[in-house]
Amino acid sequence: MVQTKAERSAAAVKAARTRKRNAKLKAEGAAKTASKRKRTVATKKRSTTAVKKRSVSKRSAPKRKTAVKRRAAPKRKTTVKSKGRKR
């Protein structure tokens, strides 16, 4: 299907309008993200500079609690002595 000259110009106008709208939206989004980025950077800086005072008891690293090992069952005496007899 071949476009008429009027249809082609209408499509061009519509495309131009869409491009303009997209550019505007993109600019608005960029402005929003820039302000957000500034805010997050500021909060990060604030959190790193202001070191909270920690109580002495919490300074040492947490100690890992190991599970209590059950004693192994006594092994059966199956080992062979040098002379070849069982113990």
55 lies in some domain: no
15 lies in some domain: yes
More confident residue, 30 or 83: 30
Terminal-residue alpha carbon distance, the chain: 100
| Over residues 58-67, mean pLDDT | 68
pLDDT higher than threshold 60 for residue 87: no
What does the pLDDT look like over 21-59, one tens digit per residue?
999 999 998 888 888 888 888 888 877 766 666 666 666
58 lies in some domain: no
Cβ neighbours, 10 Å, residue 65 = 6
Q: Which residue segment(s) compose the domain that 41 sits in?
A: 5-49
Q: Which residue has the tokens 């059950």?
A: 70
With beta carbons less than 8 A apart as the criterion, state whether 87 and 77 touch: yes
Q: What is the pLDDT of residue 16?
A: 96
Domain count, the chain: 1
75 lies in some domain: no
43 lies in some domain: yes
18 lies in some domain: yes
Position 17 confidence tier, pLDDT thresholds 50, 70, 90: very high
List strand residue ranges (DSSP E) for the chain, in order: none
Task: Report the C-alpha gap between 16 and 5 in whole angstroms.
Answer: 17
